[in-house]
Amino acid sequence: MAKFILRRLALSAIIFFFVTFIIYVLECSLPTSYVEKQAMELALRPGNTKSAQQWIEELNAQYGMDQGIVKGYFTWLGTAGKGEFGDSWTQTMPVTELFRKCIWYSFAMGLISFILEIIIAIPLGVMAARKQYSMADYTVTVFGLIGISMPTFFVATVLKLIFSIRLGWFDLVGMQGRNYATLDEVGRFWDLVAHLVLPIATLTIVSIGSLMRYTRTNMLEVLNADYIRTARAKGLPERKVISHHAFRNTLIPLVTILGGSLPGLFSGALITETLFGIRGIGFYSYYAMTGGDIPFTMFYLAFISILTLLGNLISDILYAVVDPRVRVN
Amino acid sequence: MRKNFNEVLKERELREKETSEEKEMSLDSSERVKVLSPGQMVFKRFITNRLAVVGSAILIFMFVFAFIAPIFYPYGQTEIFYKYDNSVVDLAQAKVRNEYTAFYKEGAEGVHSSVRNKLTSTITSIEAAGAEEGTIVSSEGDTYTIEKNNDAIYSLFASDYKEICNVGGTSKVGVYDLVGKAIKYEEDVTEVSGLEQKIASAIKDKKTEVSLGGVTYSIKAGKMKKYDIYATAEGFNYTGAKLGAEFEALVSETGTSGSFEYNGKTYSVKTDKNVTTVSEVAGKNFLAYLTTYAFDAHDESTALDDQFKFAALDAIVNGEGFSVNGESFTVSKEDEEFVVYKAGESEAYAALSTLVIRRATGEDNLELALKEKTREVIEEMDASGERTAKFNWEIAQVDANGEYTYDENGDLVKEEREITITNKNGSYTLTVEQVVYLIDTFARPSKEHIVGTDGDGMDVFARMMYGGRVSLLVAFVVVILETILGVIMGGIAGFFGGWVDNLIMRMVDIFYCIPSMPILIIMGALFDAMKMKPYHRLAWLMVVLGVLGWAGVARLVRGQILSLREQEFMVAAEAIGLRTKRRIFTHLVPNVMPQLIVTATSALGGVIITESTLSFLGLGVKHPLATWGTMINSVSTAEAMKAYTYIWVPVGLLICLTVVAFNFVGDGLRDAFDPKMKR
């Protein structure tokens, strides 16, 4: 097992290396006007003593962009390895500080919608599988499919129309109400919660369908298995067949996939956060990417890559842990 | 001709029946069981799945809607619609002139600007004082007089001078150079004989003043041994007879410039370079007429030049007719107004009035009759103290393009409209309601536009169709691209195994790990920065999406091929000695087809979502190309979201419906290909 994990880790490191390299190449092939724009701005600041050209050279040197792509990449990798990611250009603060500032909003949103997703999707999926081709099954299938099929921005827009504009329950965008400054600590917390309701609802609606379908498919597969027929033939009560024999086996792929998506809770919701103006990592990275903020973009993309790799690793390990049959191979 | 399998079976059984004559019924007899080919089986299973059928129906509808319906729909995706709307437009402005315009006599145009600038203010002060005349003194000290002719006409005169004397003052004579022992005289100063010796001795004696011929010269030391010499004349130097002490007292009372009267004569005092000159005003010289009258030609095509205007004013003042360019005119006064007639004609040629009426554009081409009517109405308004008044008048009809319409005789078509005059602080505005041609933005759904028009005045329904075309096209091209890439890479990896497999699978891992949405957003920003054309951008977007998506297909194909290549038919294929390419692409890949079709169908929906999200963010397909995403984005502000739900909700539903349909069909196909999942 340890050897397996070590091999996977080594592989992940290699993949991470190449992914960040590709991203770096992409970032460097962006028009240099971003660096130039930044240099112009820096050159125009009060108290500035350098010319724009000097700033361009300095910025290029700072991000290793004057040494060619390959060498520059290793420079970036070297400083990133020490935990130094430079200053975000759009937010003018160290990247790591910005990350600490925004990550918890993203994580809170991700975690709550993840829990909601599990609570709603798994029971519905199991129910649909138990009564295949019933009305309940069709309803679950159709609603699950619709959930998958709706683009995030459309769900967000519809929710905004209904709950923000028509009913006026929540603010349209942002994280603070108009009277935020007058509220006490507890009031501020509830204000924040109120502003997170619609984004979390959006995330849940969009992601619930696939988990529901996944549960249903796996449950169906298990229910078709021979040992279920055996269990039934032995005369076990249906409740026991489902909860003891079928559901536990369905949990194998479910735990694998859910465990794999745990790191993803930190990755933020790019579209949702941007549309609702939630100052999470997705929001900042969106504006960093469109605004050519190379330091933060590089950091964000490297972070996402690590999360993805970690997710794959966790699900591989969990697969082996949960299902004894895999360990044999 | 190939026969249907069922027919072949039936024929064989009939033959057997004839030979055996036994009426034995077997379980798999073709009379009882219809044998289906694998394809037919899949098809039969597919059409018995209700959701799949619904999905197919939706997709067929979408394709017809997006690809065929636009052919018959009258509007294009970038066609901008206009509408006629009644809009209140400014027809004309009327204002009582109180600025005086000067019409100069020929050869008298060169009046000093300091005088020109003072004309109106001087007349205003004359009016305020109730006087008949006033004077202006130019910055050069010349005196001009203005005399009143009537309420709106004044004459400007310049005074004629005769120099009487000059009064002492200090003026610079020149510079004395000690080295050259000579005076460099200032311009227009005449040399004084004997001055140089006097100054030389004065400098030697360190005196600062010398006097010579009744003039005192003062010496001021300058730089480089040079001395500035100033002359101070003493007393009055008359050019003619002396006028006495009383006169001189008046001169000093007047100061440096001005005028005074003495012995019934007017004298003017002027100072130039410290020398004050007193002159007698001998007479006055007519220069110009100043008037607030505006000239309105009766015929719009007649342009009245300044020569004509001067002559007309002259005629009014002197009460005679005039002739300009060989044509003679008469002037008569009618109702507080002067009207000019051409000799021998009874119709007015031009009119003079202090009320200026011009089109809102500033052009002076309103017909005279309308101007006269307006004057009448404004007089009534002034008399009654009303702020607004209305009257009907026939004005030229304007068509869709804002141009005049003509009837078959080439005459202007006129229609009667109500003109409103509003008085605002003495300036009158004539407004009229006219039909104007506007871009029809955000039109409500109507017969012409089923779903209305968008913010650019384009038909939303047409854009929905064309948007569907783009979305479906992008989806298909991208999925085909990633399938081709995936099949090639996965096929090679699965078939060869070993280090090739390892290499390709690590590539797959890398592409799996690359965060696609951020990359797409970066690419969108990059395309923005490059200012790509919409169609190029569309093509590049498809390429990027395809390249980012092939890894899943490759992994699927490889997995399938790994299990398939161990099977007997592949051993047989190898045993017959088939070439590798043929073994992969004619024996292995067709066996992967079912899974490929299923994943591709579901992937189509995913691509549509990605594309519309990108377009919604403004980073995908760009205006003027329509896509569903951009259409929703165009009404994403809170106000628009509320007001134009009839635009974005149907579009959003179209996206959902299409993606749902692809998923239904994908599910249906999977169930049909893989009946194990069915109980």
pLDDT, tens digit (0-9, with 9 covering 90-100), for B567-619: 888 888 888 888 888 887 788 878 888 888 888 888 898 899 988 888 888 88
**Residue B655: closest CA among chain A residues belongs to which residue?**
A150
The lowest-confidence range among A31-40, B98-107, B133-142 is A31-40
Amino acid at B15: R
Instruction: Name every chain A residue with its beta carbon within 8 A of the beta carbon of B605.
Output: 148-149
pLDDT, tens digit (0-9, with 9 covering 90-100), for B173-197: 777 777 777 777 776 666 777 777 7
Domain count, chain A: 1
Instruction: Name every chain A residue with its beta carbon within 8 A of the beta carbon of B668.
Output: none
B503 touches chain A (CB under 8 A): no
Q: Is B543 helix (H, G, I), strand (E, B) or coil?
A: helix
The contacts found for A187-193 with CB under 8 angstroms, 24 or more apart, are: none
DSSP B261-277: EETTEEEEEEEETTEEE
* Contact (CB<8Å) A308/B613: no
Nearest Cβ partner for A161 among B518, B519, B642: B642
**Residue B615: closest CA among chain A residues belongs to which residue?**
A153
Reported ipTM: the value is 0.86
Mean residue pLDDT of chain B comes to 79
* Contact (CB<8Å) A157/B515: no
Instruction: Name every chain B residue with its beta carbon within 8 A of the beta carbon of A312.
Output: 512-513
Kindly tell me if the per-residue pLDDT of A11 is higher than 50: yes
Residue B329 per-residue DSSP state = E
% of chain B beyond a pLDDT of 70: 89
* Contact (CB<8Å) A289/B525: yes
Average pLDDT over residues A30-52: 74
Given this model, what pLDDT does residue B21 score? 59
* Contact (CB<8Å) B605/A224: no
How far CA B79 is from CA of A64, B592, B624, in Å, comes to 49, 46, 10
Given this model, what pLDDT does residue A31 score? 64
Instruction: Name every chain B residue with its beta carbon within 8 A of the beta carbon of A276.
Output: none
Best residue of B62, B506, B521, B526 to probe chain A, by most A CBs closer than 10 Å = B521
* Contact (CB<8Å) A31/B512: no
Q: Is B151 helix (H, G, I), strand (E, B) or coil?
A: coil
CA–CA distance, A164 with B638 (Å, rounded to integer)? 9
Average pLDDT over residues A145-168: 86
Nearest Cβ partner for B656 among A27, A146, A221: A146
* Beta-strand pair B265-272/B275-291: antiparallel
- Domain containing A249 equals 98-288
Instruction: Name every chain A residue with its beta carbon within 8 A of the beta carbon of B641.
Output: 157, 160-161, 165
* Contact (CB<8Å) B636/A301: no
% of chain B beyond a pLDDT of 90: 3
* Contact (CB<8Å) B51/A27: no
Average pLDDT over residues A65-79: 78
**Residue A159: closest CA among chain B residues belongs to which residue?**
B641
* Contact (CB<8Å) A224/B617: no
Q: According to the CATH classification, is domain B53-69+451-677 in 1.10.3720.10?
A: yes
Given this model, what pLDDT does residue A266 score? 84
Instruction: Tell me the nearest-neighbour CA distance from A310 into chain B, angstroms.
Output: 10
Task: Look at residue A13 and tell me if it is in a domain.
Answer: no
- Token pair in block for residue B465: 């169709």
Instruction: Name every chain A residue with its beta carbon within 8 A of the beta carbon of B667.
Output: 141, 145
Instruction: Name every chain A residue with its beta carbon within 8 A of the beta carbon of B648.
Output: 157
Sign (positive/negative) of CA torsion B476, B482, B485, B487? negative
pLDDT, tens digit (0-9, with 9 covering 90-100), for B399-445: 656 667 777 777 777 777 788 888 887 788 888 877 777 777 777 77
* Contact (CB<8Å) A16/B513: yes
B637 touches chain A (CB under 8 A): no
- Token pair in block for residue B227: 């001395």
Average pLDDT over residues B225-254: 71
CA–CA distance, A292 with A284 (Å, rounded to integer)? 12
Task: Look at residue A129 and tell me if it is in a domain.
Answer: yes
- Token pair in block for residue B320: 């005679």
B53 touches chain A (CB under 8 A): no
Given this model, what pLDDT does residue B387 score? 83
Kindly tell me if the per-residue pLDDT of A114 is higher than 90: yes
Domain of A113, CATH number, reads 1.10.3720.10
**Residue B520: closest CA among chain A residues belongs to which residue?**
A289
Task: Look at residue A76 and tell me if it is in a domain.
Answer: no
pLDDT, tens digit (0-9, with 9 covering 90-100), for B15-71: 877 776 556 666 666 666 677 777 888 888 888 888 889 889 999 998 998 888 888
Choose between B157 and B438: higher pLDDT: B157
Best residue of A153, A275, A297 to probe chain B, by most B CBs closer than 10 Å = A153
Sorted by where each begins, the domain ranges of chain B are: 53-69+451-677, 91-95+294-439, 101-165+240-289, 169-234
Instruction: Tell me the nearest-neighbour CA distance from A47 into chain B, angstroms.
Output: 30
Nearest Cβ partner for B613 among A22, A141, A152: A152
* Contact (CB<8Å) A289/B638: no
Kindly tell me if the per-residue pLDDT of A32 is higher than 60: no
B521 touches chain A (CB under 8 A): yes
CA–CA distance, B36 with B268 (Å, rounded to integer)? 127
* Contact (CB<8Å) B521/A270: yes
A144 touches chain B (CB under 8 A): no
Half-sphere exposure of A101 (CA within 13 A, CB side): 13
Instruction: Tell me the nearest-neighbour CA distance from A89 into chain B, angstroms.
Output: 16
Q: Is B304 helix (H, G, I), strand (E, B) or coil?
A: coil
Ranges A193-202, B90-99, B260-269, B309-318, most confident: A193-202
Nearest Cβ partner for B613 among A158, A271, A285: A271
Half-sphere exposure of B268 (CA within 13 A, CB side): 24
Given this model, what pLDDT does residue B678 score? 46
The lowest-confidence range among A57-61, B69-73, B328-332 is A57-61
* Contact (CB<8Å) B509/A138: no
* Contact (CB<8Å) B642/A33: no
* Contact (CB<8Å) A305/B513: yes
Average pLDDT over residues A44-64: 76
Q: Is-contact A219 A252, C-beta < 8 A?
A: no
Q: Is-contact B653 B646, C-beta < 8 A?
A: no
* Contact (CB<8Å) B652/A154: yes
CA–CA distance, B230 with B87 (Å, rounded to integer)? 75
* Contact (CB<8Å) A151/B655: yes
Nearest Cβ partner for B521 among A217, A289, A309: A289
Instruction: Tell me the nearest-neighbour CA distance from B414 into chain A, angstroms.
Output: 49
In B331-370, the residues whose Cβ lies within 8 Å of chain A are: none
Ranges A216-220, A318-322, B90-94, B398-402, most confident: A216-220
A128 touches chain B (CB under 8 A): no
Cα–Cα–Cα angle for B189, B193, B194, rounded to 5 degrees: 130
**Residue A304: closest CA among chain B residues belongs to which residue?**
B515
* Nearest of B618, B653, B647, B625 to residue B635 by alpha carbon: B647
CA–CA distance, B133 with B185 (Å, rounded to integer)? 44
Name, in order, each residue with C-beta under 8 angstroms of A211's C-beta and a sequence gap of 6 or more. Answer: A117, A118, A121, A122, A125
Residue B412 per-residue DSSP state = B
Best residue of B54, B517, B522 to probe chain A, by most A CBs closer than 10 Å = B522
Kindly tell me if the per-residue pLDDT of B481 is higher than 90: yes
* Contact (CB<8Å) B636/A157: yes
* Nearest of B247, B279, B291, B317 to residue B159 by alpha carbon: B279
Mean residue pLDDT of chain A comes to 84
Kindly tell me if the per-residue pLDDT of B171 is higher than 80: no
B55 touches chain A (CB under 8 A): no
Task: Look at residue A148 and tell me if it is in a domain.
Answer: yes
